[in-house]
Amino acid sequence: MDKCTYCKSSPSNLKYKTSDVFGQHWEIHQCCNCQAYYIAPNPSPNQLAQAYADDYYGEQEEKFSFPLVEKILDYFRGGRARKLSKYIEANSAVLDIGCGNGQFLESLVKHGDYKLFGTELAGKSAERAKRIPQVNLRIGFLEEVVFDKESFDAITLFHVFEHLSEPELSLNIIHEILKPNGVLVMSFPNIDSWQSRIFKGKWLHLDPPRHLFFFEPKTFRGLMESQGFAFIDESYFSMEQNPFGMVQSILNLWNKKREVLFESMKGNHTYTQEYSSFNIILQKMFFILSFPIFIISDVIASLFKKSATVEFVFRKK
CB 60 within 8 A of CB 53: no
CB 138 within 8 A of CB 144: no
| 228-257 burial: b if 16+ Cβ within 10 Å, else e | ebeeeeeebbbbbbbbbbbbbbbbbeebeb
CB 86 within 8 A of CB 92: no
Q: What is the DSSP letter of 317?
A: -
pLDDT of residue 303: 98
H/E element holding 181? strand 178-189
pLDDT in tens, the chain (317 residues): 689 999 999 999 999 999 999 999 999 999 999 999 999 999 999 999 999 887 665 554 455 555 677 788 889 999 999 999 999 999 999 999 999 999 999 999 999 999 999 999 888 888 988 999 999 999 999 988 889 999 999 999 999 999 999 999 999 999 999 999 999 999 999 999 999 999 999 999 999 999 999 999 999 999 999 999 999 999 999 999 999 999 999 999 999 999 999 999 988 889 999 999 999 999 999 999 999 999 999 999 999 999 999 999 999 99
Query: What is the amino acid identity at position 165?
Result: S
pLDDT of residue 29: 98
- Virtual CA dihedral for 265, 268, 273, 274, nearest 10 degrees? -70
Q: How far apart are CA 300 and CA 236, in angstroms?
A: 10
Outline where the chain has alpha helix (H).
45-51, 54-57, 67-85, 103-108, 124-129, 167-177, 194-199, 217-226, 242-254, 260-265, 269-272, 277-303
Domain residue extents for the chain:
68-189
Q: How far apart are CA 249 and CA 255, in angstroms?
A: 10
Q: How far apart are CA 276 and CA 255, in angstroms?
A: 13
Burial of 258 (0-12, 13-18, 19+ CB in 10 A): buried
CB 212 within 8 A of CB 44: no
- SS3 track for 238-292: CCCCHHHHHHHHHHHHHCCCCCHHHHHHCCCHHHHCCCCHHHHHHHHHHHHHHHH
Closest CA to 282 of 316, 239, 250, 243: 250
CB 275 within 8 A of CB 260: yes
Query: What is the amino acid identity at position 32?
Result: C
pLDDT of residue 69: 76
Q: Place domain 68-189 in its CATH homologous superfamily.
A: Vaccinia Virus protein VP39 (3.40.50.150)
Provide the CA 4 distance to its chain's centre, in angstroms: 19
* Crossing angle of helices 242-254 and 277-303, rounded to 10°: 130
